[in-house]
Amino acid sequence: MRHNYACPLRWADLDAQGHVNNVVFVDYLQEARADLSARGPEALAGSVLGGQRLEYVAPLMFSFEPVQVDVWVSAVSTSSYTLGYEVHGPAADGGRTVHLRASSTLVGYDFATQRTRALTDEERSFLSAYAEDTEVPAEPFGEPRHDELGHYAVRVRYSDIDVAGIVNNVKHLEYFQEGRIQVLDRVAKAAGIGGWPPVVLARQDVQYRRPIRLRPEPYDAWTWLERLGTTSMVLGAEIRDGETVHARGRFVAVFVDLETNRSASPPDELREALARMAG
């Protein structure tokens, strides 16, 4: 059985291309997850997010009709569980268009002791009603690389904090996005081109390691190129405070031709600059 959540869109959800921004999808997943948890045991709502994977299938445009988010349970272990998601809207042929497929790993947590805990029998029984075997094995993250080109200072805003007093999981992806955009702008300038060619995010994987809290001093975000393909690239990133890693990410971006709406190779001078970034 899948749980369905009708999530309303906001005009502010759109990016510069008129599509729902890739980060905003994570907000939709969070709302759907909270709606499911509210139907279960009270302790389930206290689970913390350990990681997420998002695969972008098709752009989502603004509509006054809510987008539909299907949620199910793909795996349950002693102290954690994994949720699968599918975000979809109506298609022109009367069917439905899938815009996003995703998964999240949640960990049972005791906020009083600030330690992970085992899931209760009541929680496991509730989750089993939504069980569906669709888990995708997680891929290991690559080795981090830190240099000035890839550095971005993350300054936490008061509005980034959730009810638990820590930075909300959605904001982590905003921080990664800001760092990624700044790094790519530097690469474009190094290549001597006026702007960055159109790029769309095809997938992002995020691992949450330590809470990020509000403070005057910035955290450090680092972004690096892991792999450069013919029409795509894989970027790695992490957010740190000294030796402490707070979050890690991997992002697959595809160069596109807006006239044909197909993947395309980047300009040669940009490819050369990216190759230098890879070292």
Tell me which fold the domain 1-138 belongs to: Thiol Ester Dehydrase; Chain A (3.10.129)
Residues 50, 240: Cα–Cα separation, whole Å: 16
Read off the tokens for 82.
Answer: 């994994």
Q: Are 51 and 111 in contact (CB under 8 A)?
A: no
Would you give per-residue pLDDT tens digits along the chain (279 residues)? 999 999 999 999 999 888 999 999 999 999 999 999 999 998 788 899 999 999 999 999 999 999 999 999 999 999 999 999 999 987 777 788 999 999 999 999 988 888 999 999 999 999 999 999 877 777 778 889 999 999 999 999 999 999 889 999 999 999 999 999 999 999 988 888 877 888 999 999 999 999 999 999 999 999 999 999 999 999 999 999 999 999 999 999 999 988 888 899 988 888 888 888 876
Read off the tokens for 85.
Answer: 């998601």
State the pTM of this model.
Answer: 0.92
Q: Which residues pair with 241 in a beta bridge?
A: 244
Collapsing DSSP to helix, strand or coil, 200 comes out as strand
**Sign of the four-CA dihedral 220, 183, 257, 142:** negative
Tell me which fold the domain 140-279 belongs to: Thiol Ester Dehydrase; Chain A (3.10.129)
Domain boundaries, the chain: 1-138, 140-279
- Decide whether 1-138 matches 140-279 in CATH topology: yes
